[in-house]
Structure 1
Amino acid sequence: METVQRVVVLPQEPIGQVSPYLHGHFAEHLGDLIYPGIYVGEQADIPHTNGLRNAVIEALRPLQIPVLRWPGGCFADGYHWRDGIGPRERRPLRLNPNWGMAEEPNSFGTHEFIAFCRAIGAEPYFAGNLGSGTPAELRDWVEYCNFAGRSALADERRANGAEEPFHVRFWGIGNENWGCGGNMSPEEYAGLYSRFRTFVHNYSGTRVEAIACGPNGNDWQWTRRFFEHMARHHTHCRLNSLQGFAAHYYCGSAGTATDYTESQWLELLTKAAAIEGIITGHRRIMDEYDPKRACKLIVDEWGTWHPVEPGKPESGLYQQNTIRDACVAALTLDTFHNHADKVFMANLAQLVNVLQALLLVEGDRCIQTPTYHVFRLYQPHQGAQAVRFLSQAEVISHGEASEEQCRSCSVDRQPFALQAVHGSASMRNGTLCVTVVNTHPTQPVELDLELYQGKLTEVEKVTLAAQDMHAHNTFAHPNTVQLAPPQTLKARDQRLRVQLPAGSITRLMGQLG
């Protein structure tokens, strides 16, 4: 029997603009993501444009991806950008030591990445090499990409086929430098960040936004010690060199990607929703040093991390993607919207064939995962004004086997509660967009939505749901999980009753009266 769960939306209580960059993505040289996920080469039988896989481009264009991070990840702090420019036959063959000593042909480099971004309509975000590179190397890469005038580097870019500069705005100064990027302390990294940042210049009207390596999950000390060191430099405060600070947060696997119990479903979703504590905790520490929030909080790696699929190489991080992963994506995006005043950019890991991918490819085939459909469903939130969303739904989990881990995601170690319904709401030109997740894997609910100080007449409903809590798309059955056709519902002034299937994501849109 369906239970009634109540939520309240307050259109007159704005939170902040939902930055489109919150719906960003990530593409690392890892597993089958770049080769052959994105780049198949100019001699391939697979349909392509200058080596870029057509099916991937065609699938991603409708998502209006705002920003794409590249080339890593751990790969970034071993990547030397000159390996990936110029004639491909002259590019060196390297090893990828972070991901199974795989061969890296460097066929896909700076120009190819920019071409791919332009093909799908995304803004590029480059992760620079601080771990094994030099300030001069990063300085030269920025000039090569962004300078419009005459210089040896700009002329080299022109000789390589790009007359106009790329105008790359976002530059990460290293990645995970507490781990694979150098095993540094916060103070060591702060010193190196400041050194590298000194030589990253603005060129030809492109103002670089430098993004520092932030913490892994709930590492509060990394954030505090980094900002303390930046603020207490012996000659001056160095915080004005920071435009962004990037945290990472992955949901550890509960079960496998496709085989899990109801309890493991609830455990994973509770971990996903606990990202709220990561955002509020790190932003609180940052605010002590940066009360005007000149430095943006970014979550440039997030998503689920399950055991690798049987038959796939461990270092390739290939995993299937079910309706459970879709709920994780929806819960996370809703959290970003509800904290639109605190977080500016986020990048799901990763785009194709790796971790919580949008697309899976095999041979010449390309399929969309349930997570892909979440990003399609949530598009209307991009750039809209987030408004207050309050869930009064019952608590259904405190994290199951990971309750202590979920508790530690709060800087105050407060227990985190997964409710039966989570969601977010936004306004644009008088249209209200509400997205809600029924977090229970087997129990449908009746949603009682109350609109405070406003009313609706007609509402469009679109749902992503499945008959089985393990449902996923395969190459044999690519449409098992997909968006349902829109339905029109009648609202009664300030109230709307909606049936939410078990383990589902629903978007409700209507004009406020």
Structure 2
Amino acid sequence: MLLCLVVLTTFTLKAQVNVLEIDAVGGKTQINKNIYGQFAEHLGRCIYDGIWVGKDSPIPNVNGYRKDLLEALQALKVPVLRWPGGCFADTYHWKNGIGPLADRPKIKNVFWGGTVEDNSFGTNEFLNLCEMLGCDPYISANVGSGTVGEMVDWIEYMTSDDDVPMVQLRKKNGREKPWNVKFIGIGNESWGCGGDMTPEFYSDLMRQYSNYAKMYGGDKFQRIGCGSNGGDFNWTKVLMEKGRNNMDGLSLHYYTIAGEGWNNKSAATGFGEDLYFSGLKKALYMDELVSKHSAIMDQYDKDKRVDLLVDEWGIWTDVELGTNPGHLFQQNSMRDALIASSTLDIMNKHSDRVKMANIAQVVNVLQAMILTKGDKMILTPTYQVFKMYNVHQDATLLPSNLICEPYKLGNDQIPAISSSASVDKNGKIHVSISNLNPSKEIKLEINLSGKGFAKINSGTILTAAAVNTVNTFEKPETIVPTAFKNAKKLTDNKLEVSIPGKSLVVLELE
């Protein structure tokens, strides 16, 4: 268990018990590195001004890509990047975004603020970016307003080495060899912006598109079916019942809305403890969602052949004052960091079924890793969480059981601690622990069974003065990881950790 079992007793205890039991030798499931995936949509300033500034920009760049952003994402070890959307994907016609820049037609982004884009960032630019980052590309095909033929042409352009027109076109555009595309999404949010479809209609359409994707792409990539909007469990049931043999993965989208709902969201800054607590509680709902969708998938796929991909998630707040409402630009606080860490713990916990997750989004949109302003750049608290969690990528999940006190607010409560434990290929054990209580230091006893450890190699902590603290362009390093010293080895199998309120700690044991 990664989210703790809250201790509730009717008798008096000498002290509240907070214990994390870790089976150091019982790990069987690999935490797929793609759980730490990213998402880049043509939305606001994510692509243009975020990733891409063009070769003639005064902002330092590498062939048009922001240099500082490239370096930051390389340090983050991004494993997979999803593109071009999102809602944008089902209006995107890929042939408009290839060839000489001067010949590419402009396009109006009808979903996100009506911005007119010049298509200077297209297929070649995205796939070359993935190669520069060393990550796998995840392409979302246009099912909403596209055709099967358009998708097949795109697959050939990207992945084929045959002597056919689309390959000749790719070579004409300066790319000799095919790219290594690993994932093709068959539409996006087909229940909503991707076509307003019923699950029955979409499942038939998915089978058609998926059949041709297989025919022209073979086993070069996984075919990802469009999955549920949050708790729409019937959508998953229909897709698994009718389409499980035509897809290799099924997606799930869920956004944390702190506050009363979509029309009354939390601000990204200046919020109080009520909206901090609300955000965490709604983020923790991801555990119930993944559990229930996985249970439905298990009914039709007990061998877990079809992966679950949470390919859009994160906190969605009101936009920053003075910015385009359709551009979804929001600040990023310590609350966001703890939403990220506790959500990643949930994904790790379910890594037998969850094989990818893509936080929304990589730069300047929603719960971004990076914010830019002219030639300035901020690494957000969420970026720091993902960097600290690099140690779990492709590591073996260690079974664990966590008993902890609750974090209470009014008449409501959530577990005060969230955690993950894994062992890497070199035998080093990493334990990540989040204290969600904003005002109380918690002492946690960690017990390892089956194997002892010789020393605590390192400890890192991420915390802030307040839950609504942010990094700004004037003070970009207000929230950064620092060395953590409050871990004490008690025996070869036991240590004690004192975790400050509103903080994330990562330990390495050897």
User: Structure 1 length as normaliser, TM-score?
Assistant: 0.92
* Aligned equivalent of 2:198: 185
The question of whether the paired residues in 1 share the 8 Å contact of 2:258 and 2:276 is answered with no
- For residue 293 of structure 1, report the CA deviation from its aligned partner: 1.3
Question: Aligned equivalents of 2:42 and 2:85: distance in 1?
Answer: 7
3-state SS, counterpart of residue 373 of structure 1: helix
Structure 2: which amino acid aligns with 1:107?
A: S
Structure 2: which amino acid aligns with 1:422?
A: S
* Aligned equivalent of 1:482: 480
Q: Deviations over 1:102-123 (max 9, x none)?
A: 1121110000001211122211
Question: Aligned equivalents of 2:16 and 2:35: distance in 1?
Answer: 32
Q: Deviations over 1:120-145 (max 9, x none)?
A: 22111000000000000001100110
* Distance 1:446-1:488 versus aligned 2 partners, 3 A rule: closer
The question of whether the paired residues in 1 share the 8 Å contact of 2:90 and 2:146 is answered with yes
1:423 and 2:434 aligned: no
The question of whether the paired residues in 1 share the 8 Å contact of 2:45 and 2:327 is answered with yes
1:218 and 2:218 aligned: no
Question: Aligned equivalents of 1:328 and 1:37: distance in 2?
Answer: 23
* Aligned equivalent of 2:405: 394
The question of whether the paired residues in 2 share the 8 Å contact of 1:462 and 1:483 is answered with yes
Instruction: Give the total of aligned pairs.
Output: 487
Greater shift in the superposed pair: 433-442 or 481-490: 481-490
Structure 1: which amino acid aligns with 2:249?
A: G
* Aligned equivalent of 1:493: 492
1:66 and 2:79 aligned: yes
Q: Deviations over 1:430-483 (max 9, x none)?
A: 211110100111212112112223222321211111122211100000000000
3-state SS, counterpart of residue 364 of structure 2: coil
- For residue 3 of structure 1, report the CA deviation from its aligned partner: 6.3
Question: Aligned equivalents of 1:381 and 1:208: distance in 2?
Answer: 24
* Aligned equivalent of 1:465: 463
1:240 and 2:238 aligned: no
**Unaligned stretches of 5+ residues in structure 1:** 231-238, 404-416
* Distance 1:15-1:219 versus aligned 2 partners, 3 A rule: farther
1:451 and 2:456 aligned: no
Q: Deviations over 1:259-311 (max 9, x none)?
A: 22222212211111221111111011011111111111100000000000101
3-state SS, counterpart of residue 398 of structure 2: strand
Question: Aligned equivalents of 2:256 and 2:501: distance in 1?
Answer: 21
Greater shift in the superposed pair: 218-227 or 22-31: 218-227
The question of whether the paired residues in 2 share the 8 Å contact of 1:299 and 1:345 is answered with yes
3-state SS, counterpart of residue 62 of structure 1: helix
3-state SS, counterpart of residue 18 of structure 2: strand
3-state SS, counterpart of residue 321 of structure 2: coil
Q: Deviations over 1:217-266 (max 9, x none)?
A: 11111111222233xxxxxxxx3221010000110033311122222212
Structure 2: which amino acid aligns with 1:432?
A: I
3-state SS, counterpart of residue 27 of structure 2: strand
1:253 and 2:258 aligned: yes
- CA RMSD for the aligned pairs? 1.7
How high is the sequence identity, in percent, across the aligned residues?
40
Question: Aligned equivalents of 2:368 and 2:215: distance in 1?
Answer: 33
Query: What does residue range 158-177 of structure 1 map to in structure 2 within 5 Å?
Result: 158-177=171-190
Q: Deviations over 1:353-411 (max 9, x none)?
A: 0000000000011110000000110111101100112210012259x79x8xxxxxxxx
The question of whether the paired residues in 1 share the 8 Å contact of 2:93 and 2:146 is answered with yes
The question of whether the paired residues in 2 share the 8 Å contact of 1:148 and 1:204 is answered with no
* Distance 1:6-1:194 versus aligned 2 partners, 3 A rule: same
The question of whether the paired residues in 1 share the 8 Å contact of 2:341 and 2:385 is answered with yes
Query: What does residue range 122-161 of structure 1 map to in structure 2 within 5 Å?
Result: 122-161=135-174
The question of whether the paired residues in 1 share the 8 Å contact of 2:155 and 2:217 is answered with no
Query: What does residue range 46-125 of structure 1 map to in structure 2 within 5 Å?
Result: 46-125=59-138
Question: Aligned equivalents of 2:418 and 2:400: distance in 1?
Answer: 9
3-state SS, counterpart of residue 495 of structure 2: strand
The question of whether the paired residues in 1 share the 8 Å contact of 2:463 and 2:502 is answered with yes
* Distance 1:137-1:439 versus aligned 2 partners, 3 A rule: same
**Unaligned stretches of 5+ residues in structure 2:** 1-14, 260-265
3-state SS, counterpart of residue 178 of structure 2: coil
The question of whether the paired residues in 1 share the 8 Å contact of 2:444 and 2:496 is answered with yes
Structure 2: which amino acid aligns with 1:479?
A: E
3-state SS, counterpart of residue 24 of structure 2: strand
3-state SS, counterpart of residue 14 of structure 1: coil
From 433, 438, 442, the counterpart of 1:441: 438
Q: Deviations over 1:308-339 (max 9, x none)?
A: 01011100000000011000000011111111
Question: Aligned equivalents of 1:10 and 1:263: distance in 2?
Answer: 36
* Distance 1:440-1:295 versus aligned 2 partners, 3 A rule: same
1:368 and 2:368 aligned: no
Structure 1: which amino acid aligns with 2:245?
A: N
Question: Aligned equivalents of 1:103 and 1:4: distance in 2?
Answer: 57
The question of whether the paired residues in 1 share the 8 Å contact of 2:308 and 2:354 is answered with yes
* Aligned equivalent of 2:4: none
* Aligned equivalent of 1:412: none
- For residue 198 of structure 1, report the CA deviation from its aligned partner: 1.6
From 23, 30, 33, the counterpart of 1:20: 33
Question: Aligned equivalents of 1:190 and 1:320: distance in 2?
Answer: 37
Query: What does residue range 29-44 of structure 1 map to in structure 2 within 5 Å?
Result: 29-44=42-57
- For residue 206 of structure 1, report the CA deviation from its aligned partner: 5.5
The question of whether the paired residues in 2 share the 8 Å contact of 1:301 and 1:348 is answered with yes
1:325 and 2:313 aligned: no
Greater shift in the superposed pair: 425-434 or 167-176: 425-434
Question: Aligned equivalents of 1:241 and 1:338: distance in 2?
Answer: 27
3-state SS, counterpart of residue 315 of structure 1: helix
- For residue 203 of structure 1, report the CA deviation from its aligned partner: 6.0
The question of whether the paired residues in 1 share the 8 Å contact of 2:92 and 2:142 is answered with yes
* Aligned equivalent of 2:210: 197
Question: Aligned equivalents of 1:46 and 1:461: distance in 2?
Answer: 36
Question: Aligned equivalents of 1:285 and 1:315: distance in 2?
Answer: 35
From 258, 268, 273, the counterpart of 1:262: 273
- For residue 200 of structure 1, report the CA deviation from its aligned partner: 1.0
Question: Aligned equivalents of 1:315 and 1:158: distance in 2?
Answer: 37
Question: Aligned equivalents of 1:366 and 1:121: distance in 2?
Answer: 22
Question: Aligned equivalents of 2:99 and 2:414: distance in 1?
Answer: 52
User: Structure 2 length as normaliser, TM-score?
Assistant: 0.92
Question: Aligned equivalents of 1:118 and 1:55: distance in 2?
Answer: 17
Question: Aligned equivalents of 1:268 and 1:389: distance in 2?
Answer: 25
Q: Deviations over 1:155-195 (max 9, x none)?
A: 10000010000121200000000000000000000011011
Question: Aligned equivalents of 2:376 and 2:59: distance in 1?
Answer: 9
The question of whether the paired residues in 2 share the 8 Å contact of 1:139 and 1:201 is answered with no
